[in-house]
Structure 1
């Protein structure tokens, strides 16, 4: 059954396609954060291990909310690793040592990339595609990523 929520089918299709990219980015970032949680080493292992756990737990909730936003506007969410890797703007880790600051730099860059993507879609979602709900939703999501990025950035002087 089609969602009758005041969006044209074409506008909903376009917004859903952008949300699919966002979902892929969130899932890749979640996986990279889990990797950091599992594999970080060093003198501050325990603090880093707990920090990364808090971050991946937040991302877990974000992933679910993005997929549910897609469903609210009448589309199915991609849910395979193949699809995520085809849709994402992010890259997987290259070979690295397992130091916490190295992980943090990479994760910070990914959060900032997602923030840029979200910021770039706020106005078009509202004005061009008349999807004020998704525009508002991604504004809140952007603020969450800004806070997560701030927490990562705070480890650097």
Structure 2
């Protein structure tokens, strides 16, 4: 494979993207869980908001995995892989709605940190395609965290 990025650099980027994928998939699963199980006075608005969010995350995991494959590496795809690679904690039980929101804020912020940690390697090897993907992911996660955080302000 000769796309202008060395095998060593492609490996570093693919490993970083695997962590982004694991965080994104874990956040997808958590958001879907909360969509199913949210209760309380904000039920309808949160149920619909969480559905929009997990739908977007579902699309994102495919884009991230396909970028890993474009770099000629295999994407992680098992719960064991994701558990090993993610920085996001699973929810214990079914938290109250406000705790769900707080956990999702923390999850989106975690994806941002994981994505940002990859920029140095991506820029060093001139991987503009991955940089573009990460920039788009950051914009979305930062906006979603802001919107969720706004629900917690009293």
Give the TM bin, normalised by the shorter chain. Answer: over 0.9
5+ residue gaps, structure 2, are none
What SS does the corresponding residue of 1:89 show, helix, strand or coil?
coil
TM-score (norm 1): 0.92
| 1:72 to partner: Cα distance | 1.2
1:90 aligns with 2:94: no
CA distance in 2, matches of 1:45, 1:95: 18
**Does the aligned pair in 2 maintain the 1:122–1:136 contact within 8 Å?**
no
Q: Name the counterpart of 2:128.
A: 132
How many residue pairs get matched?
A: 153
Deviations 1:100-133 (A, max 9, x none): 2110100100111111221232233112x33222
5+ residue gaps, structure 1, are none
Deviations 1:58-87 (A, max 9, x none): 101111110011111111111111111111
Of residues 118, 143, 146, the one that matches 2:142 is 146
TM-score (norm 2): 0.93
| 1:46 to partner: Cα distance | 1.2
CA distance in 1, matches of 2:108, 2:81: 20
| 1:144 to partner: Cα distance | 1.1
What SS does the corresponding residue of 2:49 show, helix, strand or coil?
helix
Q: Name the counterpart of 1:21.
A: 19
| 1:96 to partner: Cα distance | 4.5
1:5 aligns with 2:3: yes
